Amino acid sequence: MFRLLRQSFVSLLVSVVVGCSVIAFLIQSLNPRFYQNNVADDNRKHQVNTSKSQIIQVIVNEKGQDLSDKVRILCWVMTSPANHETKALAVKETWGPRCNVLLFMSSTNDTKLPTVGLPVGEGRDALWGKTREAFRYVWERYQDEVDWILKADDDTYVIVENLRYFLSGFNTSEPLYFGHKFKAIVKNGFFSGGAGYALSKEATRRFVTIGYHNASLCRKDHGGAEDVEMANCMEKLNVSAMDTRDSQGRGRFFPFGVNFHYFPGEIYADVHWYWNAIYYPPTQGRNCCSDSTISFHYIHPRTMYILDLFFYQIRPFGLVDNRPAIPEPPPDVNLTAPRWFAPPKPTTPTPSVSKR
């Protein structure tokens, strides 16, 4: 009898201990969930009209904020009515608001995006005209508010912080412009329009106040290839087309998506027009791109959101940015390097057929 009572008491004691443990576990589990749900609900109430501040706050620390104040960049994006609600919208919801000023240049006014409706047509034959009018519009309204002017397409993805970091080593009072350099057509090379290019304040001043009105310096009609015409104009205005690679020779501005530059395939003359056109020798694989890469081109709107996710939200824990406060100068900072030419593709000898 005593043994039975003792067993019953032990069983009761075990049950009480287990029950208390379960209750304690539930309390600990539910409290954080309740707190997180309340925080999430509270955050959702404040999401309206805060997208720009949220985008910036995700990545800015004291160093980044300091550059944002000191290296003020106006980004104007070349777009068209057909792309206002797709490509241009993706720019607006990803990298665009990280610029100090963001403008969308189109041929019509769109209050939703919004856009600046310029007095130009649409299509490839109107790109130079749109570029002329966009730089004039920007200079006349923002010359005292910004230091650098970036032109990008609506399918260009730009890492604005890296652009600021790169430009922080240069003086905007000097006649300079930057991008992905091609060696064809223009003596000093020209920058890919799709990869985007940045003009210093002095380069922009010369373009708008001198070149815009002088047909002997800058083409006055709206025809011609935008990036080539800009290069012709910059050259005649004595604006230097700078090397934008990092100190290891890795590119920063890219005229294609990352896949092309990481996996370029055979690098021989005449295999792809790109190898015949680029000014500096290419790099590939993990060495394809600088750790301060600035832009990629031909980026689908959905891919823009994915790139933003990987660049600004997903972060490996413990990584430390060891880059110097000012980037080391590019290999051809004095613009004396010879142009690079792709080697010819090796010919495969035709196997001889023996005669019997």
Per-residue pLDDT tens listing for the chain (356 residues): 444 444 444 454 444 444 444 444 333 443 433 323 333 333 333 333 334 444 444 444 555 668 999 999 999 999 999 999 999 999 999 999 999 999 999 999 999 999 999 999 888 888 999 999 999 999 999 999 999 999 999 999 999 999 999 999 999 999 999 999 999 888 888 899 999 999 999 999 999 999 999 999 999 888 888 989 999 999 999 999 999 999 999 999 999 999 999 999 888 888 888 999 999 999 999 999 999 999 999 999 999 999 999 999 998 999 888 899 899 999 999 999 999 998 988 887 666 655 55
Distance CA 298, CA 260 (A): 11
Distance CA 164, CA 222 (A): 31
Other beta carbons within 10 angstroms of residue 192's beta carbon come to 23
What pLDDT is attached to residue 43?
Answer: 36
3-state secondary structure the chain: CHHHHHHHHHHHHHHHHHHHHHHHHHHHHHHHHHHHHHHHHHHHHCCCCCHHHHHHHHHCCHHHHHHHHHCCEEEEEECCHHHCCCHHHHHHHCCHHHCCEEEEEECCCCCCCCCEECCCCCCHHHHHHHHHHHHHHHHHHHCCCCCEEEEEECCCEECHHHHHHHHCCCCCCCCEEECCEECCCCCCCEECCCCCEEEEHHHHHHHHHHHCCCCCCCCCCCCCCHHHHHHHHHHHCCCEECCCCCCCCCECECCCCHHHHHCCCCCCCCCCHHHHHECCCCCCHHHCECCCCCEECCCCHHHHHHHHHHHHCCCCCCCCCCCCCCCCCCCCCCCCCCCCCCCCCCCCCCCCCCCC
What pLDDT is attached to residue 21?
Answer: 46
Token readout for 111 is 């209050």
pTM: 0.80
CB 244 within 8 A of CB 265: no
What pLDDT is attached to residue 93?
Answer: 98
